[in-house]
Structure 1
Amino acid sequence: MKIDVLSLFPKMFEGVLGESILKKAKEKNAVEYNVINFREFADNKHGQVDDYPYGGGAGMVLKPQPIFDAVDHLTNQTEDNQKPRVVLLCPQGERYTQSKAEELSKEDHLIFICGHYEGYDERIREHVITDEISIGDFVLTGGELGAMVIIDSVVRLLPGVLGNEDSPVLDSFSSGLLEHPHYTRPADFRGLKVPPELISGNHKVIEEWRQKESIRRTYERRPDLLENYPLNDQQKSWIEKWRNS
Structure 2
Amino acid sequence: MTWRATVLTLFPEMFPGPLGISLAGRALAAGLWALEARDIRDQATDRHRSVDDTPAGGGPGMVLRADVVAAAIDAAGGAPDRPKLLMSPRGRPLTQSRVVELAAGPGPLIVCGRFEGVDQRVIEARGLEEISVGDYVLSGGEIAAMALLDACVRLLPGVMGKPESGSDESFSDGLLEYPHYTRPQAFEGRPIPEVLLSGDHAKIEGWRRAEAEALTRARRPDLWAAKAGQKRSKNRTEG
Same fold (TM over 0.5): yes
C-alpha distance after superposition, 1:205-240 (max 9, x if no partner): 1111111111111112112212121588xxxxxxxx
Return the match for 2:96 from 67, 91, 98: 98
Aligned identity (percent) is: 42
Q: Could you tell me which runs of 5 or more consecutive residues in structure 2 were left unpaired when the two chains were aligned.
A: 232-239
Q: What is the alpha-carbon distance in structure 1 between the residues aligned to residue 56 and residue 189 of structure 2? A: 67
Structure 2 SS opposite 1:213: helix
Aligned residue pairs, count:
229
Alignment correspondent of 2:28: 26
Q: Could you tell me which runs of 5 or more consecutive residues in structure 1 were left unpaired when the two chains were aligned.
A: 233-245
Alignment correspondent of 2:166: 168
Structure 2 SS opposite 1:100: helix
Q: What is the alpha-carbon distance in structure 1 between the residues aligned to residue 131 and residue 152 of structure 2? A: 14
Alignment correspondent of 1:38: 40
The answer (yes or no) to whether the contact 2:12–2:37 under 8 Å persists in 1 is yes
Read off the aligned partner of 1:9 and give its amino acid letter.
F
Deviation at 1:61, TM superposition (A): 0.9
Deviation at 1:43, TM superposition (A): 1.5
Read off the aligned partner of 1:8 and give its amino acid letter.
L
Structure 2 SS opposite 1:179: coil
C-alpha distance after superposition, 1:72-106 (max 9, x if no partner): 1222xx3xx44211100111110111111112111
Return structure 1 stretches of 4+ with deviation > 4 angstroms: none
Structure 1 SS opposite 2:17: helix
1:166-205 alignment runs, 5 A limit? 166-205=164-203
In structure 2, do the counterparts of structure 1 residues 56 and 163 end up closer, same or farther at CA, with 3 Å as the change threshold?
A: same
C-alpha distance after superposition, 1:39-78 (max 9, x if no partner): 0111112110001122222111111122111111222xx3
Q: What's the TM-score once normalised by structure 2's chain length?
A: 0.90
Is 1:64–2:62 an aligned residue pair?
A: no
Is 1:135–2:133 an aligned residue pair?
A: yes
Return the match for 1:17 from 12, 15, 19: 19
The answer (yes or no) to whether the contact 2:67–2:122 under 8 Å persists in 1 is no
